[in-house]
Amino acid sequence: MNPADISPEGPPRYVIGVDVGTGSARAGLFDLSGHMLSVAKRDISLFREAGSIVEQSSTEIWNAVCAIIREAVSSAGVDPAQVVGLGFDATCSLVVLGEGGKPLAVGPSEKAERDIIVWMDHRAVGQAERINAMGHEVLRYVGGRISPEMETPKILWLKENRHETFASAWQFFDLADFLTWKSTGDLSRSTCTVTCKWTYLAHEARWDASYFEAIGLGELANENFARIGTEIVEPGTRLGRGLTDEAANAMGLKPGTAVAAGMIDAHAGGIGTVGIGGKPAENLAYVFGTSSCTMTSTVEPVFVPGVWGPYYSAMVPGMWLNEGGQSAAGAAIDQLLSFHPAAGDATEAARLQGKSLPVFVGEVAAGMVSKPSEVVELANGLHVVPEFLGNRAPFADPHARAIVAGLGMERDIDNLVALYVAGLCGIGYGLRQIIETQAKAGASVERVVISGGAGASSMVRQILADACGKPVIAPAADEPVLLGSAILGSVAAGAFPNVRNAMEALSSVASVYAPAGGGVAETHAHRYQAFLSLQDVARRIR
């Protein structure tokens, strides 16, 4: 299917966005006004080993992706021939394949089907620390310090701990690039994935061979980077000849259907949100899910210590990106609640209502106050720094850990609610800290545009607005991450001339949560100072 064949006349046209998250894969089918007609989901397995090893299976994920695409098209009652474009996003997880695309075992299980080192896997902390100690120039473009969540420390771990796998690997893929290769046979990588997680210098259109040689991965450079990407293209670029016959048959779509170069999942959420108002430089995209991600777009590069980037054309084409956030956000709230004596009874009550524990506790909290901005009073005396998996930004400190201050002997649901609210405030203060750190470096924002399941409720959005001091904008799209991937597919199909045009056309505002003033603002200002003090004490005693 050639983009030139797509005209505004004729039958309706549709695009599909596919999002592969940590625990599930989802596909949404959209029309070209940005309206989602259907969504399908499959859970995917997460394999954990002792320590910090977390793995997945690319075979399982691919099969899930094909199944949900079929289901999304079928449930919408759409003719597959009317699907003109397909876009993918995925977690920034490392896929390791041998010759012919054969999965290779990446861990001590020795199971070849477990061929993905998941983004949250921290087995490469030691490798990351050694890389950071070298102080190579490319680290300027990852906030000064590389993270163990990124791909070169993980590949170095493989070389040092599973040399046979490293030597046998035909390709090392970011998960989104694996999905586009599997769909089209095209080995091109996205500027989003390789710039944000692999140290590709998109503003100079090159890999830095001296970095790989310095850290002990000179083989990759000597091979002219054939195993990690020689063709790098912007997200939304049409790949190959579209879907191969094999992939089209598995998905129930037409061969040749346009497939776009993909993105990291959080960045797709950014594409689905920051186009609101046509001024992406004013909007901070905040994806609040299992983890959290902040994405700030600037016209010129801004260097912020502890904040990843600046990355060129990694999200909005032609703009620079600074990326922050935390490795645990929604997961931090889950962990926090699990400690409380009332968690068992509350979990059972939530189950009977068909809700998750955080949603149930949030609804209890909302019912205890006359308006959402007053909910902070429920956390009186309780303070939480929810850094269970370290501080990704602005300290780039994987060794940081959570702090809870002010606990008493209470065992009731009211105290569980208080702990929940304090945890959400802590998430908001971490967001505020990133916003303020970036503003001091020259990257200020006017508003926060939110996406992600952990930030879906009005009360959560109001707490975040009050805690960070910026208006929080909820986009009209129910699934902005899926919309972001669908936007890429629409551009690959030729329905829009470029990503910016598609973003502005398909993104709109549903509601605005303005930060409260007066006593509520004073309470949050006091609590924010307590948050900073607790962080400082934790660093000093460690």
Q: Which structural domains are found in the chain, ordered by start?
A: 3-263 (3.30.420.40), 330-432+518-541 (1.20.58.2240)
SS3 of 302, please? Answer: coil
Q: Which residue has the higher pLDDT, 420 or 5?
A: 420
Residue 257 to residue 244: CA distance in whole angstroms: 9
State residue 173's pLDDT score. Answer: 98
Dump the DSSP string for 12-50. Answer: --EEEEEEE-SSEEEEEEEETTS-EEEEEEEE---EE-S
Question: Residue 66 CB: number of other CB atoms within 10 A?
Answer: 23
- Beta carbons of 293 and 480 less than 8 angstroms apart: no
Residue 8 has a pLDDT of 52
C-beta of residue 493 within 8 angstroms of C-beta of residue 14 = no
Contact 229, 158 (CB under 8 A): no
* 29 pLDDT above the threshold of 50: yes
Question: Once rounded to an integer, what is the mean pLDDT over residues 260-278?
Answer: 91
Model confidence pLDDT, tens digit, residues 306-364? 899 999 999 998 999 999 999 999 999 999 999 999 999 999 999 999 999 999 999 99
Please say if the pLDDT value at position 5 is more than 80: no
Task: Identify the pLDDT of residue 1.
Answer: 43
Tokens of 59: 């075979």
Which element (helix H / strand E) includes 497? none
18 and 253 in contact (C-beta within 8 Å)? no
Q: Given a cut of 90, is residue 11 above it in pLDDT?
A: no
Q: Please say whether the beta carbons of 201 and 217 come within 8 A.
A: no
Q: Report pLDDT digits (tens) over 250-264.
A: 999 999 999 999 999
| Tokens encoding 150 | 């990124």
Residue appearing with tokens 């991600």 = 293
Given this model, what pLDDT does residue 453 score? 85
pLDDT of residue 120 exceeding 50, the answer is: yes
pLDDT of residue 244: 98
Query: What pTM value is reported for the model?
Result: 0.87
Is residue 404 within 8 Å of 328, Cβ to Cβ?
Answer: no
The CA-to-CA distance between both ends of the chain, in Å, stands at 59
Residues facing residue 31 across a β-bridge = 14
Read off the pLDDT of residues 164-197 as tens digits, 9 standing for 90 and up: 999 999 999 999 999 999 999 999 999 999 999 9
- Cβ atoms 500, 317 nearer than 8 A: yes
pLDDT of residue 342: 97
State pLDDT tens for residues 361-385.
Answer: 999 999 999 999 999 999 999 999 9
Model confidence pLDDT, tens digit, residues 421-462: 999 999 999 999 999 999 999 999 999 999 888 999 999 999
